[in-house]
Structure formats: C-alpha cells, structure tokens
Structure 1
Amino acid sequence: MSASTIQLTPSAHTMTSVTTPDSMGQLLARFPELTTTVPKEFVHRAAVAEVLLTGWARRDDERFGVTAQWPRCHSYFTQVDGHHDPLIVAETIRQIGALLAHTEFDVPLDQKFLMWDLRLTVVPEHLKVSGAPANIDIDVTCVEVRRRGPALAKLRYETVLRRDGQVVATGGASYTCASPQAYERLRRNRPHSDRPPLALTAPVPPQHVGRTSPTDVVLSPIGEENCWQLRADTRHPVLFDHPQDHIPGMVLIEAARQAAHLLLGRESVLPVTMVSEFSRYAELDAPCLIRAEALPAEGNAPVSVLVTGEQEGEPVFSTTVLVDPVGRRLG
C-alpha cells in the first residue's frame, strides 16, 4: 500500500500533518473533525497509548500550534486530589520538542536528543479532572534555534497550554541533537561502560510518595535522612517505554516529585512549579543519590523543595519543586 503526506486544515482540537496510508488520508479528508494521535516515532514512544499529542500546525518560522489530549485515567500519570498529574504537563512539553524537531526542523528519526532543562507551572483550578478527557491547545514559541550547517543543533522553546480557552499551564525546555555516530562516541568513552545495570532495590512505601503500587516508586531508602537511592526499574512500561542506555529525564523529574513528597510527609503533593536542569547522563550501572531540602517560604507562599541527584561524586540534575501549601500530613 502506498503512502501519502496529508495536511489538514486545523480545527478546534485537530491539527494534523502526518504520513498515512491513502485510505486513512481519504478518511481524514472526509471527516476533518476526527482526532488521532501523531505517529509515536515523532515523540520517541514505543507504545501508541503513551502518545499525548494529537496534531500540530506551523504559524510562522518560530511559532507553532500543537494539540494534545490528557486521559482522565492514566496508568502512571494518576490524579492528584482530583487534578491531572502535573507531570503529564512535563511529558507533553517533552513530546512537543521531539515532534517539532522531526516534522518542522528536518531532524532524522535516528538522531539522539540531550535534554538540558524542562520547566512547568500549572494553574491548579484549571487542572481539575472533569467528566471527559482534557483537550489541550498549545502555543509554542521557539526562542532559540541553533544550527550546525543545515542541521538543527539546539532548540529552546516556550509553551502556553490552554484548556477551554483558559491557561492550564506554561513551561518550556531545551535540548541539543547528536548524530548516532557522535552519540556512540560519547557513550562509548564513558567510564565503566561495560558494567551491567544495578540490581533493583527495595522501594520506599508507595503510600508515602502518593503511589499505590511499589512498581511505580523510584526511590529506595538508604537509612539517611532526606536522602534516597534512585530506583530505576527498566521493565516499567511507562518510565522505560523502550530500552535505554541511561536513566531518562522523566524518571529524574518523578524522583524529584517523590523526594518532595517524602520530605514534606503529606498524604498528597500537588507541584505547582517544577524547574529541572540536567548536567550529565544518569547511568544505569551506578547508584544515584537523591537529596531533598526545604527552601525558605513565607506565609501562604508555595512550599519550595530543592532536589538534587548525584552519581559517583558528580551532580546529575537539580529540580526545584514548588508545592501548594495546603495538604494533610501522613499519620
């Protein structure tokens, strides 16, 4: 069956520019209001079920419109006190960067992406789960586009996410691109590259980090106050959607959220802002220590927690988590 590239006129929640079989192209042309996900390869997912984006359209050289849909119930991005999980915002922002790279900046699908930072702020009253999935309209502005010859070398972008016309979140991210050859050289020269991944360690109690299943816990106790070992279960179907030679950034962001949960000792924690910076790869074959400390806050201001990751004496990442000050404590 031959394939054709189609471009549909954007509707309220459907913007599509994808390569599909002729029969699918004809179907979408007949029913332009239909919503589909973008191809999973464009957002670096192996499972179609983990694709959050539903379409995109170019507005000019620097601005794009993207659409997404958040389910009411997700296997990992679970509700927090009736709100959509703020980390589904983080994953949406991450997927946007990959999508635009491949579809609008001509980055081949075999290129490697190195994420340097990811930021988000949510508006809790607009983040509440309703009686239907949340359709999200996203304004994307590319504030830095750096090329190496004709090839994209770095992209920094900012996003505004709206639901029913109201801002539900803002955020942004930046990453650099590397060819398969450059990435192989980078990874081959790392110390101890021949070591196997660490054995899976025991999790902290899931209810202490807002989880119901031990398999969703990414921290292990080590007997030190406000310090834990990162627990990377490479069999996890969401956090490790496909094989990786390092610990993904989304796992580190989740570790920051869980560390803030443990530090605050609450039944539930709703992050309203998360600012993450990544300084090096987190390797699978060495312990990664996660530390959390409370930062000064005044009055009813959000509680601020600084979470850092360290591996073999070197910093890996840092995340500042601002948490809604309201919440019952455990016990």
Structure 2
Amino acid sequence: MVHKTAMAEVFLTDAHRRGEHRFTVAAQWPRAHVFYRPGADGKCDPVLWLETVRQAGVYVAHRFYGVPISHQFVLAGAEFTIEDPQAPQYGATPHTVSLDVTLQPPAQDRRHFVVELEAVVRIDGRRCGRVAMRGQAVDTRRYSVLRRRNAPSSDSLTPFDRPAQVPLPPAAVGRQHEWDVVLAAWPDRADSWQLSLDPQHSVFFDHATDHLPGMALVEAFRQAVSLTGGQRSAPDHAPRVWALTSGEVSFEAFGELDAPVTVESRPAAEHAVGGDHFSVRADAVQGDRRLASATLTGRPLLVAGSRLHGRAA
C-alpha cells in the first residue's frame, strides 16, 4: 500500500478520513533505522519527514480514492519546513507522529490520478513543520509513454568512469557510515560530485525500479549542500556539516541507472533569519538533461573531533 517490500521501510500505521479531501495519517518513526539516522544536530532525519509524507500520499490514493495498486507513482516535487525539530525517542515509548493531510481535489480517471497534498507534521501532539508534495499515479501504459518521452538520446550519455571516483568520508556529509555516502568526488572539480549509488542499497532499492529513485536524489542534494555549506569558514577553521531547516525540490526527468549523474551545488541568496542560516542551490545532471534541482536552507554545525556542536556562524 506504500510501494515498499520490507516492513522495516513502512512508517505508516493508520489513516482516517476527516473530510472530503482531508485525512489524519498516523506514523511511527523507528528508534534506530539502518539509514534514517539522527542528523548532525541529533534531530530526526529531514529526509525521513519527506519519505513519510510520500508514503502517506501513496496510501491515501490507494485506500480512499481507489487508485489501483499496479499504478506507478511519479514524484514531481516537494517542499518542506521544519519548525521544531525533534530528537529520536530512545526510551520505552517512541514518538507519536501524525500528519494532517489535505489534498487538492484530484484530477482522476482510470489511467491517471494527480496528487497534490500538504501535510502538517505533528510529533507528540505538537506542530513541528509541514511538507507539501505533488506528483501523479499512472497505469502501466501511461507510465511507458512517460518513460519513452523522457528517455535521453543514447549519444547524450557517457559510460561510468568508476576509477575517477574519489570516496568521501562519511563525516564530510554528516553521515556515520560509508554505506550511507551517495556522492563521490571528482579528482579535479569543486562544487561538483558524482552520484555513487550502490544498487544493493536496501533503502533506495527496496524494490525493482527502472530509474533512479527520487528519494536517492534528495539525499544526494542533502549531502552536496552539506559539502558546500561546510566550506563557510568557522573562526577556528573547524569543519562543518549542515542541519536542514527548509527546502524545495523539483523533478524534471527520469534518471537512468546505467549512466553517470553529476550533482552540482553553489551558494544561493543569503537567508534572512538570524544570519546563521543560508541557502544552497543544487542540480542533478545526466548527459545533457537536468534530472532534478533543489534549493535547501540550513544551519551550519561545527565539528569538534568526533562530536558535533550547533554553534552558529
């Protein structure tokens, strides 16, 4: 019902219809997850927020609007604001997570269902932020048409150049383990990285897919802007990582699995909140096509040894 294979990747527990296009969706975030671990600030992973709302959109479409399970969901964009980040609950009782979901009246026929929703995220009854998403669910025939229409020309793609990849240390992108790093550095480029996805990754490739998963590109953007944001020098020249507070992502084309993707990022306009937040623009490019883009805003965190501190710039 949420297009996952492993139970460990399902975060929803229930849903209730409150109005014609309004729902309450309950979720439970794991105390410890193989991938969605606390961020550099010790708070719940922002990508987990997006994945939970993505699952809510899929589930609501199937359960309450009769969208067939065989339909493919194509994500077009997302935006989020984290107003009150929470740390994972490691005690006897995990956090109670609920989503107040409102859908725009969807355009629907038997082959096509447009999803445009906004979810207010509540943790233990307190509003902590919001996530909006848009996309569509389509039948197999329409999906095949979309894939052909978005397929790149063969001469625009180059084969992988594995030897050119330079592994990045997990701490540089706010991660704990090498398996979590989805970018590799180019030997001679700055502000540009190569997407480095393990096809055996149990989260991104939970089930078979013919294109790059959208949530993998979101994670790549998060890691890229962490690298770009970390270049802002601290007074003591300590390295930095990023804690995301808001952002928007748009998807423009399907990414192919057998050709390299370049992820680029650069500082965007300065954020006006308190002077310690700033924004970064990121793009994912494959051949001559832009697959997706994002503008993410965050707060830099200083790294002292192996410990992370939320000291402002």
Quickly name the TM-score band, shorter chain normalised.
Answer: 0.7 to 0.9
1:49 aligns to 2:5 (yes or no): no
Query: Judging changes above 3 Å, is the alpha-carbon distance between structure 1 residues 198 and 47 closer, same or farther for their aligned structure 2 residues?
Result: farther
Matching residue of 1:272? 245
What residue in structure 1 maps to residue 293 of structure 2?
Answer: 318
1:138 aligned partner: 99
Partner of 2:96, secondary structure, is strand
CA distance in structure 2 between the aligned counterparts of 1:73 and 1:197, rounded to whole angstroms: 37
Which residue of 1 is the match for residue 52 of structure 2?
A: 92
Q: Which residue matches 1:236?
A: 201
- Offset, 1:330: 7.4
**Residue in 2 that maps onto 1:109:** 69
CA distance in 2 between counterparts of 1:93 and 1:102 reads 14
1:196–1:285: 8 Å Cα contact kept in structure 2? no
Alignment of 1:164-313 (within 5 A): 164-188=124-148, 190-191=151-152, 198=160, 202-222=166-186, 223-265=188-230, 266-297=239-270, 298=272, 299-313=274-288
Using the alignment, how far apart are the partners of 1:107 and 1:197 within structure 2? Answer: 38
CA–CA distance in 1 between the matches of 2:158 and 2:4?
A: 24
Distance 1:144 1:315 in 2: 30
1:205 to partner: Cα distance? 1.6
Q: Which residue of 2 aligns with 1:76?
A: 35
* Distance in 1, Cα, partners of 2:253 & 2:118: 22
One of 75, 82, 89 as aligned partner of 1:122 = 82
Work out whether residues 218 and 254 of structure 1, in 8 Å CA contact, stay in contact via their aligned partners in 2.
Answer: yes
Secondary structure, counterpart of 1:296 in structure 2: strand
**Amino acid in the other structure paired with 2:134:** S
Task: Tell me if structure 1 keeps the 8 A contact 2:80–2:131.
Answer: yes
Kindly provide the amino acid, as one letter, of the partner of residue 114 in structure 1.
Answer: V
Question: Secondary structure at the residue paired with 1:159?
Answer: strand
SS of corresponding position for 2:16: strand
Q: What is the CA distance between 1:152 and its match in structure 2?
A: 4.6
The Cα RMSD (Å) is: 2.2
| TM-score normalised by L of structure 1 | 0.80
Q: Is the 8 A contact 2:74 2:136 kept in 1?
A: yes
Residue 252 of structure 1 deviates from its aligned partner by 0.5
Q: Identity, % of aligned pairs?
A: 34
Q: Is this contact kept in 2: 1:234–1:243, CA < 8 A?
A: no
Query: Which one-letter code corresponds to 1:210 in the other structure?
Result: G
Structure 1: which 5+ residue stretches go unaligned? 1-41
Once the two structures are TM-superposed, the CA of residue 215 in structure 1 deviates from its matched residue by 1.7
Give the drift of 1:121: 1.2
Higher relative contact order (CA 8 A, sep 6+): 2
Alpha-carbon distance between aligned partners in 2 of 1:292 and 1:197, rounded to the nearest angstrom:
23
Stretch of structure 1 that moved more, 56-65 or 198-207: 198-207
